[in-house]
Amino acid sequence: MTLYTMSTIAQLLVLFERLGDVFKMEEYKKVRKEDCAPTECGVTAKDAAFSWGYRVKDDQSAKKNFQVELETVDTPTLQNVNFDLRHNSLLMVAGKIGSGKTTLLYSIMEENRRMKGSLDIRGRIAYVEQEPFIFSSTVEENITFGLEYCEERF
């Protein structure tokens, strides 16, 4: 066997070990009522607390083998979450970087662990992530995207 083949086999073994770690992770149970009348659809959280469940262990910088070690997190990332979002209503979430906006959105999508309280989802939900960008141009051209400026519209 050549050195290249040995390297490839070693990389595959690391890949399989990482996949094994992912498959061993706790699976979160999702309970949703997707078929509902529009007046019954919505998302309600009552005294809910959410956690990502895992985090990267501290002091990973000295590792040379690129293997990331995880540890279980038992403390909530968000707690005392209460809201009632009904069909055709709007909920706006604003805050500083690191204040929990993304954690809240992922919690609504049931992508992280609910530690206490309740999260009731009736109907279907969707999430479209925003990728912000700014053209190297004027502020007006970044707002109009090449369209003619119309004061009432913009």
**pLDDT tens digits, one per residue of 50-87:** 988 777 776 655 555 556 677 777 788 899 999 998 88
Kindly report the three-state secondary structure assignment for every residue of 59-71: CCCCCCCCCCCEE
Read off the pTM.
0.57
At 9-60, the pLDDT tens digits run: 888 888 888 777 767 766 666 667 777 887 888 899 999 999 887 777 766 5
pLDDT of residue 116: 92
Alpha carbon distance 41, 43 (integer Å): 7
pLDDT of residue 47: 96
**Which tokens go with 96?**
């500083």
Mean pLDDT, to the nearest integer, of 144-149? 82
